[in-house]
Structure 1
Amino acid sequence: MATLGLNAHLSIERYLLIFHNAFIQKYSISLHYVPAISLIIVALLYTFICIVSYPCKSTYDYNAVVCGDACFTLNPILGPLGWLIFYLVPLVIVVVSNLLLIIQVTLQKRRMLQANVWKKNLGMVLQLLAVTGVLYVSWLPIILTSVINVIHLTPVLFELQANWLLLGLIYIAVLSSPLTAIVAIPELRKEIYTMIQGWRGKIMHDRVGPVTITAHMVTKGTQQM
């Protein structure tokens, strides 16, 4: 629940770090630490209030692929509100902030007219598109279908969720996190490449191969005996 919120916060912070670095450095506690800690606390409180303390009994089918959900999600107000606040809104913030960053970089490129600067910014744009694309593919289908099902149950969408076709998409973001990190962090790519080259050199050095024995080697060995 707090994952998308933290991603949204980091997307806004990345924009401020690039274009308003002095401002965010001046108010680092208010703009960095306080929002991050607050998001985690709010998510924990919401989970405790709506799952642990909510006056209803959740029923789960442990033999089904999707065993069920907390009973508070059936509430016509709390159910959609939770999906909207903790999932859809952070996802929209991630996309909008990254799009603003890409547009700002493109406008600066046109003003500066420097090819080397644009080449560096192009890499950053591709990284942002990769991260944003993974989040959208993973979360948007399940968020929209869940909100629709809570407001008005649709058999087709319910079957898609019950058969794990939409819920399984969430794990794309989890499983692709290492690949996304490699794409987004050039220093990590260089370190991995250096590590692979070191392993390859060690393997080549330790490889056992055929040895050609010459007459000089035989004569030298006989003399030593």
Structure 2
Amino acid sequence: MIVLTLTSFIYSPALVIFAPCNEAFDDAAPVCGGSCYQLLPGIGTFDLVFTIFIPLSFIISFNCILVIRVMKQKRRMLQKSIWKKNLGMLIQLLLISMLHVTGWMPVVIVILIVMTNNNPPIIVVELQASWVLLNIVYIAVITNPLVCMFAIPEIKEKMFSFLNSIHIRQQQISPIINTQTHKSSIKKN
């Protein structure tokens, strides 16, 4: 954990500050103002592999290993109460990791197509130049708390009880209609 923390504080600022390139801002370009070190062949490729491809492949492979271990554990134990807890945790893990993977996978596929082809298709180049693919990543980031709320049973129960209490309060509020007639109120006139 210390290595990852030091890497994040040393690696990225060092690349941005000490990269042997000059920033060129072109307002007419579809993408303007990105880090110039990503355009250098060696450093840019290393950065993509180190910060995107390896973490994403770790997430996919470790989740597959964890699912296989849980399935083997289920066959071995055959206890319903423990299986329900394991199933809940497995669903939480799969929902959150699939959200992350579906957000990043289109970006990774387009980057791989551009990196491996000398003349990539025009639509792929335009997808990479536009911010459409990066917005997909942000949708995954924004919806992550919602997935967590629905995946964690304690939060889901509290949320449903809160919504239920609001619904009950709204049903209790109603105007009072006076249908009672008294002789005394009629006689005053």
TM-score interval w.r.t. the shorter chain?
0.7 to 0.9
In percent, how many aligned pairs have the same letter? 32
SS in 1 for 2:75: helix
**Contact residue 83 and residue 147 of structure 1 kept, 8 A:** no
**What is the deviation of 1:106?**
0.9
Q: How many residues are matched?
A: 184
**Residue 71 (str. 1) matches residue 19 (str. 2):** no
SS in 1 for 2:34: coil
**Contact residue 134 and residue 172 of structure 1 kept, 8 A:** no
Of 158, 163, 181, 1:191 maps to: 158
Q: Which runs of 5+ in 2 are unaligned?
A: none
Per-residue CA distance 1:85-112 (angstroms, 9 max, x = gap): 1111111111222222111111111111
TM-score, normalised relative to structure 2: 0.83
Aligned to 1:203: 170
Of 89, 95, 105, 2:54 maps to: 89
TM-score, normalised relative to structure 1: 0.71
Aligned to 2:71: 106
Aligned to 1:48: 13
**What is the deviation of 1:82?**
0.7
Q: Which runs of 5+ in 1 are unaligned?
A: 1-34
Q: Output the aligned Cα RMSD.
A: 2.5
Counterparts of 1:211 and 1:161, CA distance in 2? 64
Counterparts of 2:180 and 2:29, CA distance in 1? 73
Does the C-alpha gap of structure 1 residues 221 and 96 become closer, same or farther in structure 2, counting only changes over 3 Å?
farther
Of 174, 180, 185, 1:214 maps to: 180
Amino acid at match of 2:177: V
Of 140, 143, 147, 1:180 maps to: 147
**Contact residue 25 and residue 33 of structure 2 kept, 8 A:** yes
Where in structure 2 are the equivalents of 1:148-167 lying within 5 Å? Answer: 148-150=113-115, 152=117, 154-156=120-122, 157-167=124-134
Counterparts of 2:104 and 2:125, CA distance in 1? 16
Amino acid at match of 1:122: L
Does the C-alpha gap of structure 1 residues 125 and 62 become closer, same or farther in structure 2, counting only changes over 3 Å?
farther
**What is the deviation of 1:151?**
5.7
**Contact residue 76 and residue 150 of structure 1 kept, 8 A:** no
